[in-house]
């Protein structure tokens, strides 16, 4: 749990988008309890590009799920914009995700039946503001260089194009935090570079980007690298990756 | 944005549902097909049953409003007399009465007996019968009207001659009398249950019969209720301890037939409804498959901020869409089938009897409801999945 000494350590110039204190996450699989996170502290500031690296099973994905409010900690405190996420019910967490967090996945997870522009609209589709949403989605796709591909279906796009559609989708609700799970994992080096360039641009606008990655060069372009080993954090200036 | 995009924009759940239905074309088509069959089963069986009922009533003739009065078992005359007819007329009030005389005769062709026939004696044949050929003379004193079956059998037309031999009482003696009559009209085919069915009969002027002997009196009321009251009235008037007249009421029979048809139809529609239950199970199966296949997709939707109920709504929209398409197609097919049934049974494809279209609508409504119900469990299953699990793949 967060102690009263937390207040001192958190006094920086800006408030973090999301922060964690002594976060523990345990799973029960096959009767055994697995400690995926063993009491870690973290904070993500606006405009930061953070890379989480570490070997498989080190808890990277668990941490990302925690940051994305897709999962709640077994113990410890996670605060989104200063609010304890444990006080949120499922509906409230879902709403917060929509308002503040964008997701980019390794395998893109675009909806195959929807066109590029419709895929970008998905997070706002239920808002019943079709015209505004269409304009925002079109702007975003133009921004990531897909202005010519609005009405293409996912299977008509290359991997890099799909990932850029996914990034546009993640940005359509103007989030404060963008979470990327191996965003370049399925892409070649050049395409991956384009994606990283997009992330740079996004962070310039004050959006924090947190990515889980295996790739050295992704970690190298990050502002900060969080090295996760066996559910504990080693924060280095230099990337230590496998 | 064009109009169609805006329209779908107003129903985002249906946009996704429509695209998903279009994605798994074969599976959706099969789901639509089972709904269609279910709707057709209910609609066609129900509406077809109504048409069948209607056609049976046409064959049975108009029953219910007529009562027949015969001589009762304690009647010493063994028949009704002119005095009886007068009394019946008085107690029947406004109802029209048709006294009927009756006898049997042999039909003579080429000098020998060709067959037998019933003879009816009626004052005003137009009150009972319809003419298909020729006409009933204004002054009905001679000539004969012939029923349609006999007309066919003996090839009789207006103007033909027919020889009838029968037993009559002349001056207290029983004699065989053979007479030739001229056919003035052929009567239209009558229903099986019509009173004094003329199909196998000749109709003669009452003067051809004994004066004071009536076989029966038909009392025609406006409806079955009045007929029932009149029947009670007649029984009270004539019958004390002894049964002077027997009254044959047809209202009860009409009601019973009606009820029997209704039950049979209900039973058949019930069988049809089972096929809609099967259709519902099939829709549930399709939706479960769809939910399992789209696990990750639904996980993404949950991740980007779709609430559980939003997912339920999208899945239900999909099930409803299948149901609506199936029901609309099923309704159209049903109308086609019922039109054929109408044509066969009632002679006009568009002669939808009252209550017929009701079954088609009921079938369609049940089709949509069955789909919606079938979608609930798969929708809830899909929505309950935790996004983390779904995204892990």
pLDDT in tens, B12-32: 788 788 888 887 788 889 889
d(CA A130, CA B317): 19
Contacts 24+ apart (CB under 8 A), A200-204: A200/A49, A202/A167, A202/A171, A202/A178, A203/A47, A203/A48, A203/A49, A204/A47
Domain shared by B289 and B201, yes or no: no
d(CA B278, CA B33): 12
Q: Which residue has the higher pLDDT, B365 or B92?
A: B365
Domain shared by B223 and B267, yes or no: no
Residues in chain A: 242
Whether A5 has a pLDDT exceeding 60, the answer reads no
- Nearest CA among A16, A73, A5, A87 for reference residue A40: A73
Largest CA distance in chain A: 54
All residues of chain B having their beta carbon less than 8 Å from the beta carbon of residue A65 are 388
Domain shared by B269 and B170, yes or no: no
The minimal CB distance from A70 to the residues B10, B308, B387 is found for B387
Residue B2: its pLDDT value, please?
64
In a domain, B348, yes or no: yes
Select, from the ranges B16-25, B51-60, B296-305, B349-358, the one with the highest average predicted confidence (pLDDT): B296-305
Which region among A7-11, B164-168, B254-258, B281-285 has the lowest average model confidence (pLDDT)? A7-11
Structure tokens at B264: 């049979």
The answer to whether the Cα torsion of A206, A133, A167, A54 is positive or negative is: positive
Domain end (from B222, B251, B280): B251
All residues of chain B having their beta carbon less than 8 Å from the beta carbon of residue A155 are none
Domain shared by B112 and B238, yes or no: yes
The minimal CB distance from A123 to the residues B20, B296, B305 is found for B305
Cβ pair B276, B41 in contact under 8 A: yes
Whether A184 has a pLDDT exceeding 60, the answer reads yes
Residues in chain B: 393
Whether B262 has a pLDDT exceeding 60, the answer reads yes
* Alpha carbon of B383: minimum distance to chain A alpha carbons (Å): 12
Which pLDDT tens digit goes with each residue over A114-126? 899 999 999 998 8
In a domain, B2, yes or no: no
* Alpha carbon of A29: minimum distance to chain B alpha carbons (Å): 13
A139: domain CATH number? 3.40.50.300
Residue B290: its pLDDT value, please?
83
The minimal CB distance from A98 to the residues B305, B308, B393 is found for B305
Q: Give the number of other CB atoms < 10 A from CB of residue B354.
A: 8
In a domain, A48, yes or no: yes
With a pLDDT cut of 90, the percent of chain A lying above it is: 57
All residues of chain B having their beta carbon less than 8 Å from the beta carbon of residue A165 are none
User: Is A197 exposed, middle or buried, given 0-12, 13-18 or 19+ CB atoms closer than 10 A?
Assistant: exposed
Whether A237 has a pLDDT exceeding 80, the answer reads no
* Cα R_g (chain A), whole angstroms: 18
Domain shared by B189 and B122, yes or no: yes
d(CA B330, CA B25): 18
In a domain, B5, yes or no: no
Q: At what angle do helices B224-238 and B82-91 cross, to 10 degrees?
A: 130
Q: What are phi and psi of A18, to 5 degrees?
A: -145, 145
Q: Which residue has the higher pLDDT, B133 or A7?
A: B133
Mean pLDDT, chain B, whole residue set: 85
* Alpha carbon of A172: minimum distance to chain B alpha carbons (Å): 10
DSSP three-state, residue A46: coil
Which domain covers residue B119, as residue numbers? 66-251
Model's pTM, two decimal places? 0.70
- Nearest CA among B119, B178, B181, B187 for reference residue B151: B187
All residues of chain B having their beta carbon less than 8 Å from the beta carbon of residue A128 are 9-10, 12
Could A169 and B304 be called an inter-chain contact, meaning their C-beta atoms sit closer than 8 Å?
Answer: yes
**pLDDT range class, residue B249, cuts 50, 70, 90:** confident
Q: Count of domains in chain B?
A: 2
* Alpha carbon of B299: minimum distance to chain A alpha carbons (Å): 9
- Please, what is the end-to-end C-alpha distance for chain A in angstroms? 32
- Nearest CA among B292, B357, B368 for reference residue B325: B368
ipTM of the predicted assembly exceeds 0.95: no
User: Is B347 exposed, middle or buried, given 0-12, 13-18 or 19+ CB atoms closer than 10 A?
Assistant: exposed
Domain end (from B251, B271, B294): B251
CA B171 to chain centre: 52
In a domain, B3, yes or no: no
The minimal CB distance from A71 to the residues B22, B302, B388 is found for B388
In a domain, A1, yes or no: no
Give alpha helix (H) positions in B123-250. 125-128, 148-153, 224-238
Whether A238 has a pLDDT exceeding 60, the answer reads no
Could B308 and A90 be called an inter-chain contact, meaning their C-beta atoms sit closer than 8 Å?
Answer: yes
Which region among A31-45, B149-163, B193-207 has the lowest average model confidence (pLDDT)? B193-207
Residue A241: its pLDDT value, please?
46
Residue B59: its pLDDT value, please?
64
Structure tokens at B157: 């037309």
**pLDDT range class, residue A100, cuts 50, 70, 90:** very high
Residue B294: its pLDDT value, please?
83
All residues of chain B having their beta carbon less than 8 Å from the beta carbon of residue A68 are 303
Structure tokens at B293: 């296949």
The minimal CB distance from A94 to the residues B296, B297, B305 is found for B305
Interface test with A, best of B4, B19, B300 (most A CBs within 10 A): B300
Residue with tokens 């690298």: A225
* Sheet with strand A75-80: strands edge to edge: A32-44, A18-29, A75-80, A83-84
Cβ pair A1, A77 in contact under 8 A: yes
- When pLDDT is averaged across residues A171-187 and rounded to a whole number, the result is 91
d(CA B328, CA B20): 19
All residues of chain A having their beta carbon less than 8 Å from the beta carbon of residue B10 are 128, 130
The pairing of strands A75-80 and A224-229 is: unpaired
Domain shared by B109 and B208, yes or no: yes
The minimal CB distance from B304 to the residues A113, A122, A131 is found for A122
- Nearest CA among B90, B105, B104, B118 for reference residue B217: B90
CA A78 to chain centre: 15
Burial code (b: 16+ CB inside 10 Å, e: under 16) for B139-154 equals: ebeebbbbbbbbbeeb
All residues of chain B having their beta carbon less than 8 Å from the beta carbon of residue A118 are 15
* Alpha carbon of B35: minimum distance to chain A alpha carbons (Å): 24
Residue B10: its pLDDT value, please?
65
Mean pLDDT, chain A, whole residue set: 87
Domain end (from B251, B282, B310): B251
Domain shared by B78 and B43, yes or no: no
Domain shared by B328 and B299, yes or no: yes
Domain shared by B152 and B34, yes or no: no
In a domain, A241, yes or no: no
* Alpha carbon of A18: minimum distance to chain B alpha carbons (Å): 17
In a domain, B4, yes or no: no
Interface test with B, best of A109, A168, A178 (most B CBs within 10 A): A109
* Cα R_g (chain B), whole angstroms: 34
Residue B211: its pLDDT value, please?
76
* Alpha carbon of B43: minimum distance to chain A alpha carbons (Å): 35
All residues of chain A having their beta carbon less than 8 Å from the beta carbon of residue B23 are 112-113
Whether A231 has a pLDDT exceeding 60, the answer reads yes
The minimal CB distance from B303 to the residues A91, A97, A126 is found for A97
* Alpha carbon of A95: minimum distance to chain B alpha carbons (Å): 6
Whether A50 has a pLDDT exceeding 90, the answer reads yes
d(CA B147, CA B137): 16
Q: Count of domains in chain A?
A: 1
Q: At what angle do helices B251-293 and B308-346 cross, to 10 degrees?
A: 140
Domain shared by B72 and B94, yes or no: yes
- When pLDDT is averaged across residues B47-68 and rounded to a whole number, the result is 76
Could B16 and A97 be called an inter-chain contact, meaning their C-beta atoms sit closer than 8 Å?
Answer: no
In a domain, A242, yes or no: no
d(CA A211, CA B78): 111
Which domain covers residue A13, as residue numbers? 6-236
DSSP state of B188: P
- When pLDDT is averaged across residues A150-166 and rounded to a whole number, the result is 94
Could B19 and A113 be called an inter-chain contact, meaning their C-beta atoms sit closer than 8 Å?
Answer: yes
In a domain, A102, yes or no: yes
DSSP three-state, residue B313: helix
């Amino acid at each position: 749990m967060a102690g009263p000494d937390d207040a001192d350590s958190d006094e920086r110039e800006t408030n973090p988008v999301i922060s964690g204190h002594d976060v523990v996450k345990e799973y029960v699989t096959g009767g055994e309890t697995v400690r995926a996170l063993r009491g870690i502290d973290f904070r993500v500031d606006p405009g930061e590009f953070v890379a989480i690296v570490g070997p498989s099973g080190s808890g990277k994905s668990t941490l990302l799920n925690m940051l994305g409010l897709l999962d709640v900690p077994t113990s410890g405190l996670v605060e989104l914009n200063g609010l304890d996420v444990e006080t949120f019910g499922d509906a409230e967490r879902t709403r917060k995700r929509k308002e503040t967090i964008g997701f980019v996945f390794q395998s893109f997870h675009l909806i195959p039946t929807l066109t590029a522009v419709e895929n970008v609209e998905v997070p706002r589709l239920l808002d019943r503001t079709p015209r505004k949403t269409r304009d925002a989605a079109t702007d975003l796709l133009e921004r990531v260089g897909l202005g010519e591909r609005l009405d293409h279906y996912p299977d008509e796009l290359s991997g890099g194009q799909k990932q850029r559609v996914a990034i546009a989708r993640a940005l359509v609700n103007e989030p404060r935090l963008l979470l990327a799970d191996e965003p370049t994992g399925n892409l070649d080096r050049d395409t991956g570079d384009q994606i990283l360039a997009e992330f740079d641009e996004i962070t310039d606008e004050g959006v924090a980007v947190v990515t889980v990655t295996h790739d050295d060069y992704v970690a190298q372009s990050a502002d900060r690298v969080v090295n996760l080993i066996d559910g504990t954090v080693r924060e280095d200036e230099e990337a230590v990756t496998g | 944005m064009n109009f169609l995009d805006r329209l779908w924009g107003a129903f985002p759940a249906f946009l996704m549902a429509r695209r998903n239905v279009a994605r798994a074309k074969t599976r959706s088509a099969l789901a639509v097909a089972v709904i269609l069959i279910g709707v057709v089963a209910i609609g066609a069986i129900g509406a077809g049953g109504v048409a069948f009922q209607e056609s049976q009533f046409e064959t049975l003739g108009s029953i219910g409003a007529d009562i027949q009065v015969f001589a009762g078992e304690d009647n010493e005359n063994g028949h009704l007399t002119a005095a009886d007819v007068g009394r019946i007329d008085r107690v029947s009030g406004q109802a029209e009465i048709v006294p009927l005389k009756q006898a049997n005769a042999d039909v003579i062709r080429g000098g020998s007996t060709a067959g037998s026939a019933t003879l009816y004696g009626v004052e005003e044949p137009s009150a009972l019968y319809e003419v298909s050929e020729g006409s009933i003379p204004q002054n009905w004193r001679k000539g004969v009207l012939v029923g349609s079956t006999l007309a066919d059998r003996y090839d009789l037309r207006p103007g033909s001659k027919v020889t009838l031999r029968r037993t009559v009482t002349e001056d207290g003696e029983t004699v065989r009398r053979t007479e030739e009559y001229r056919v003035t009209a052929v009567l239209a085919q009558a229903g099986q249950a019509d009173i004094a069915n003329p199909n196998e009969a000749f109709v003669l002027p009452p003067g051809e019969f004994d004066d004071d002997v009536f076989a029966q009196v038909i009392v025609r009321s406006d409806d079955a209720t009045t007929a029932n009251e009149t029947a009670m009235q007649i029984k009270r008037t004539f019958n004390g301890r002894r049964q002077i007249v027997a009254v044959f009421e047809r209202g009860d029979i009409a009601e019973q037939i009606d009820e029997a048809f209704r039950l049979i139809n209900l039973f058949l529609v019930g069988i049809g409804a089972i096929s809609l239950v099967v259709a519902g199970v099939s829709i549930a199966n399709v939706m479960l498959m769809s939910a399992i296949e789209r696990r990750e997709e639904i996980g993404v939707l949950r991740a980007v901020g779709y609430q559980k109920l939003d997912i339920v709504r999208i899945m239900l929209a999909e099930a409803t869409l299948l149901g609506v398409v199936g029901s609309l197609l099923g309704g159209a097919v049903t109308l086609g089938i019922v039109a054929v049934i109408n044509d066969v049974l009632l002679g006009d494809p568009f002669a939808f009897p009252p209550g017929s279209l009701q079954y088609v609508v009921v079938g369609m409504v049940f089709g949509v409801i069955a789909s919606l119900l079938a979608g609930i469990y798969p929708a809830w299953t899909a929505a309950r999945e935790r996004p983390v699990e779904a995204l892990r793949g």
